Amino acid sequence: MNGLSPIAYSVDFAFNAVGLTIATLVAGRLAGRVPTRRVIGAGLAATSIAGVLLLAGALFGMPLVIALIGFFVLMTAQGLIGPNAGALASGAVPEHPGTGSALLGFLQWCMAGLIAPLAGLGGEHTAVPMAVIVLVLTASSLIAIRASDHG
């Protein structure tokens, strides 16, 4: 949508990967010091902020700076969420920790297969469906993590 060259897109993609990597390293350092659910909560809060930013940008033609910041925050937050969600999934089935992690991975890939076509419903001229999906799935994740606190 923003007309980035292949090189500029690659550089942006690399920055997002660096953010994801740094957040994953931070999550590893926090393991055992900060409750896993709190780290996931921080990642979901950042994801919410990114979703709101991306939706606002999408409603106004997705200015490049909004897209760059929004996706950087979104991808970086995944470094806090992913590894910790895997740890919670493994911990949910302590007698078979691989089962919890495998089920989480399976569900993530199934959701990706279902969601990807929905994100493209607006075509190449709007990112509104994608931003709405980010917000809906983030809200669903927040509800799920809160519900599992009480379960």
**For residue range 81-133, what is the model confidence (pLDDT) as tens digits?**
999 999 998 888 889 878 988 999 999 999 999 999 999 888 888 999 999 99
Give the Cβ contact number of residue 120 at 10 Å: 13
Separation of alpha carbons 61 and 141, rounded Å:
28
* Contact between 22 and 63 (Cβ < 8 Å): no
pLDDT in tens, 27-75: 999 999 999 999 999 999 999 999 999 999 999 989 999 999 999 999 9
CB 16 within 8 A of CB 71: yes
| CA pair distance 50, 70, nearest whole angstrom | 5
Domain spans of the chain, in order of start: 6-149
